[in-house]
Amino acid sequence: MIRAVLFDMDGLMFDTERLATETWMELGRRHGIPVTRELMDETRGRPLEDCVRIFKKHLGQEFDFFKHRGERKRYMDAYLEQHGLPVKPGLGRLLGYLRENGYKTALATSTHEEIAGAYLKMAGVEEYFDCKVFGNMVERGKPNPDIYLCAAKLLGTPPEECLVLEDSPCGVCAGWRAGCRVIMVPDLVEPSREDLERADACVPSLNEVISYLEN
């Protein structure tokens, strides 16, 4: 029986994976740096230290990740200030349903607390989560299971009674390794056969999660 629902954030709740890709590639065009979609796909759902390693693998050890990340963040902030935070379809309805029906909820995101907290406030959904686990709170990031095991422990719910919602293969693997049930809601990366084997279901949007819980 599912008693708790554990949410990823980027690419699942908010359309921020797409924005991150577009702003990194824009930075690349401005500076003549070959930031490719393949490079960005490799970083999906991974913790910051993994992203640094992946960028340096593709662009060379001399690549100053944090300098360029600061510039990229300014592009992102300018977009959000002008257009607002893009929220994925069905998020508000699902969070309302979970609250009304007594499910525990947790956020479990690789993003660090400062940025993730700001996004939650922008979207007005901060209060819907019983606990939050950020990327800087666990030693090993996704695809390791630590972040979901931590969230389940904080909720006081066994992993097998938790449902993980994820958009990336990396996150699906983390939820599966934690012993949780997993629904994949693909964003920018199409699910592989392995992803589909690990996930209990694969749905096009958060709107379909309620039907899964009711059935």
> Looking at residue 207, what is its pLDDT?
96
- CA dist 22 and 13 (Å) reads 18
Query: Does residue 186 carry a pLDDT above 90?
Result: yes
The pLDDT score that the predictor gives to residue 45 is 87
pLDDT of residue 215: 87
The amino acid present at 151, given as its one-letter code, is A
Q: Are residues 112 and 178 in the same domain?
A: yes
Q: Which of 39, 54, 83 is the last residue of a domain?
A: 83
**What is the CATH number for 201?**
3.40.50.1000
Report whether 65 contacts 48 (CB < 8 A): no
Q: Are residues 194 and 91 in the same domain?
A: yes
3-state secondary structure labels for all residues of 117-129: HHHHHHHCCHHHC
Which three-class secondary structure string do you get for 41-96? HHHCCCCHHHHHHHHHHHHCCCCCHHHHHHHHHHHHHHHHHHHCCCECCCHHHHHH
Q: Which residues pair with 132 in a beta bridge?
A: 107
Q: Based on the domain organization, do 105 and 76 belong to the same domain?
A: no
Q: Which of 10, 50, 167, 187 is catalytic?
A: 10
% of the chain beyond a pLDDT of 70: 100
**Mean pLDDT across 41-59:** 94
Q: pLDDT (tens digit, 9 = 90+) per residue, 149-159?
A: 999 999 999 99
Query: Are 91 and 185 members of one domain?
Result: yes
Mean pLDDT of 21-44: 95
Q: Which domain holds residue 58?
A: 16-83
42 with 100, same domain: the answer is: no
Q: Are residues 79 and 92 in the same domain?
A: no
Specify the pLDDT at position 187. Answer: 96
Average pLDDT, the chain: 96
31, with CB counted inside 10 A (0-12, 13-18, 19+), is exposed
Is 91 in the same domain as 173? yes
Residues 138 and 195 in one domain: yes
Arithmetic mean of pLDDT, 43-61? 94
Domain count of the fold of the chain:
2
Out of 62, 83, 104, pick the residue that ends a domain. Answer: 83
Instruction: Give every CB contact of residue 77 below 8 A, 6+ residues apart in sequence.
Output: none
Q: Given 8, 50, 146, 167, which residue is catalytic? A: 8
* Residue 200: active-site member: no
Residues 121 and 62 in one domain: no
Q: Are residues 70 and 106 in the same domain?
A: no
Please indicate, yes or no, whether residues 106 and 184 belong to a single structural domain of this protein.
yes
Q: Name the nearest CA neighbour of 125 among 107, 111, 149.
A: 107
Q: How far apart (Å, rounded) are the C-alpha atoms in residues 129 and 120?
A: 10
Q: How many beta carbons lie within 10 A of that of residue 101, not counting itself?
A: 10
User: Which of 51, 83, 115 finishes a domain?
Assistant: 83
How many beta carbons lie within 10 A of that of residue 77, not counting itself? 12
- Residue 8: active-site member: yes
Q: Are residues 105 and 39 in the same domain?
A: no
Question: How many whole angstroms separate alpha carbon 5 and alpha carbon 103?
Answer: 7
Integer Cα distance of 55 and 52 in angstroms? 5
Query: Which of 206, 210, 215, 144 is closest to 7 using CA atoms?
Result: 206
